Structure formats: C-alpha cells, structure tokens
Chains A and B, each alone.
Chain A
Amino acid sequence: GAVVSQHPSRVICKSGTSVKIECRSLDFQATTMFWYRQFPKQSLMLMATSNEGSKATYEQGVEKDKFLINHASLTLSTLTVTSAHPEDSSFYICSATDPRPRIPLHFGNGTRLTVT
C-alpha cells in the first residue's frame, strides 16, 4: 500500500541551529501534505498545509518564518525549523492525502526533535 517516509526519525541539535525534516510519498503523488506537532500527552496539532508548487498555509500561531515549508515536487515536502530553541523540542509528523477514496491520510513515522 501507499507509504509516506519521514526522515530523520530522531534528531538532537543545539539551540540556534536549523533542522530540516523530509516527508516523501513513496508510491503516490501527494498534492497536499500536512505537518503536525505533538507535545507529550497532547493531541496532534496541525501546523501547516503544504501545497505542491505554492506557498504553505499556516495555522494561527505558527510562525511561517520559523517553520519553513517547501513542497517543490509531488512526492516531497520539507519542514525546516530555523534557529531552533528548546521549546521547539517536540514530535513532528507529516501526512499526505491519498488520491484513493476512503483513506484520507497516510502518516510518516514522525521525527522526534530535541533541542539542547
């Protein structure tokens, strides 16, 4: 079946550095991908909707200059956390809409970011 691959699965970085997370749809074209953040024991929070070939749509309260999203192809979206701070430490998950009916989303395995 369709698979979404997210990389890296775990990253530790120092404050002030930038981290790029990749999300790939492996066997289908994803015109729309979503980026979520999840803090411990909390629900998934949608950060932004990534549309191939156009600017991402950010949810209220999410800084677009801090969380840079690029969706340059139908199979790849990237999220770059710029100038990371310890409070950015979280679990980041991407998902992609599936063109087949009745399967709304496939999720990447997630990236656990720790900023020291």
Chain B
Amino acid sequence: RKEVEQDPGPFNVPEGATVAFNCTYSNSASQSFFWYRQDCRKEPKLLMSVYSSGNEDGRFTAQLNRASQYISLLIRDSKLSDSATYLCVVNMGGSSASKIIFGSGTRLSIRP
C-alpha cells in the first residue's frame, strides 16, 4: 500500500461544477497535511494547509479525517483556471528534517 494515495483522475467537469478529491494516508502519526497545485510543466505551489477543524479559502475547502486517515479538497463553482494537477502532501515526520510524502496527484480539467 502506498503511503499516500490519490485517485489520479482525470476529473473532467464543466465550469461551475463542484468537484471533490480525497487522499488517504497510511501513517496514523502523520503530523500535517497540505494540498499543492501543479500546472503543466511548472513547479508545485502551496494551495492550502489542512487543519483538523477543516478550513476554507474562497471556493476551496479542505478537511481532515484522522479517524479514517484521509484528507479532502472541495472546489466549488469551478473555473477554467482551476484546471491543474492537485497534489496531496503529508508530513509524516514532524521534525524540520521531516518525511514529506507526495501523493501521485489528481488531474482536474474544467471544460467550458
């Protein structure tokens, strides 16, 4: 079993739709969680951190379920510019020289 697993997609949804991704992790002692966005041929960029209480940033909502060991990302009212690969990132180490594991990414394509 992979340490961090994501549905690779691709998700192909119309503009304005709501789309959700899940990401599961294997290490129950994992410390922190993040969603990164990667555009084609570009470096990943931090989209948002994921807090235990859940957090929202505009159209984006991230949630953490420690009992089931998964995190989720919800995108509402999707825009064409949301088309990208979304990477789930889990910090399993907890220290500065931490063990940061990437999921394989979920590809999202928004169509007009």
Contacts and interface: CB of A to CB of B under 8 A. Distances in A.
B14 to A, nearest CB: 23
A104 B96 CA distance: 9
A104 B41 contact: no
Contacts of A42: 104
B102 A44 contact: yes
Contacts of A109: 42-43
Contacts of B98: 97, 104
B34 A43 contact: no
Contact of A91 (B32, B41, B97, B103): B41
Contacts of B102: 43-44, 46
Interface-central residue, A32, A44, A103, by most chain B CB under 10 Å: A44
A46 B105 CA distance: 14
A112 B38 CA distance: 15
Contacts of B43: 93, 107-110
Contact of A43 (B32, B45, B97, B103): B103
B41 to A, nearest CB: 7
A80 interface: no
Interface string B37-69: 010011111100100000000000000000000
19 contacts: A31-B97, A32-B96, A43-B102, A43-B104, A44-B44, A49-B97, A91-B41, A93-B44, A97-B98, A102-B49, A104-B46, A104-B98, A104-B100, A105-B44, A107-B43, A107-B44, A108-B43, A110-B42, A112-B41
